[in-house]
Structure 1
């Protein structure tokens, strides 16, 4: 699964980055912006959580100004950086896997946006799956093996995506792109936010 998904994630980014945003997709982008970057951090009729068990957690998210500031910066990048044609709703439910092939489906949210959105959404979905396993554990299966597999999948997916992206960048653009890539991979703000959110959970 990892190999074809990473191929899908990288090639469209490089091959479509030269196209302009001359097609529709504004409404789709606005919907994604609302669902991902706005509604979860305020009271909204569309929000859902396991109430009353997660009421305190939902309130904590709404009151976390530092988190909302980080999200606002990501929202700004999402709205302003039409870098490539992206899937827009890539999660594990959008990847159909058999022994013979892997297919990515549900492209109705595709639009021109930041190159890192798809890989971020996909890895974020895997991280959610990791933390959800404790709720499925029982005396027969503590889900530890599955959680370890998810963590390996996250690491292998990112490493292969990084490798393929840079290889395609070198192939299709003049120069190595070194002046641009650090802004994607070595951004201190992104690294700090990621470490703060996930560092205390993932060993």
Structure 2
């Protein structure tokens, strides 16, 4: 039924379900787990969407990332130990335990020799939803305008308009809050990560759709 509604084959539908909602690992060397909430809603509405994020994302996670001056690029390939993953301290400067235990990061691999876990986004739903959620907190673009700004970025790339793309990108750096001045370089890095991550996700989806 879902495959028919999306004009996809059974195999394509299974692959997309896996890409969007699978990938949760709560221990090393385990089979990936699907997000049941998102999976059930996908079957209910016969539509792929970021259902988990529609229930709301705690702003305290974003505030924790900003307060700890965390480099967002590390989220896609974070390395840590079991002691860190299993600890949550209110005064901790490391946001990873909270982000991990909230389900936004999951175990990707484990180095048994050194006892080091490699973390990353579990699936496309979490990656796209979380990065998109971050944009209003790191730029002067509000939540309502964010999807349209990313759409414009993608169109400017596809139409070969680099000057327009760069002008729009510069506007994202405008009105930087005073408290961020001392962390200006990291702030710019995080804005660039958010923009290029989202642009990459949407152009990748478009590429796969047109194959």
The TM-score by the shorter chain falls in which range? 0.3 to 0.5
TM-score scaled to structure 2, two decimals? Answer: 0.32
Q: Which has the higher contact order (CA 8 A, sep 6+)?
A: 1
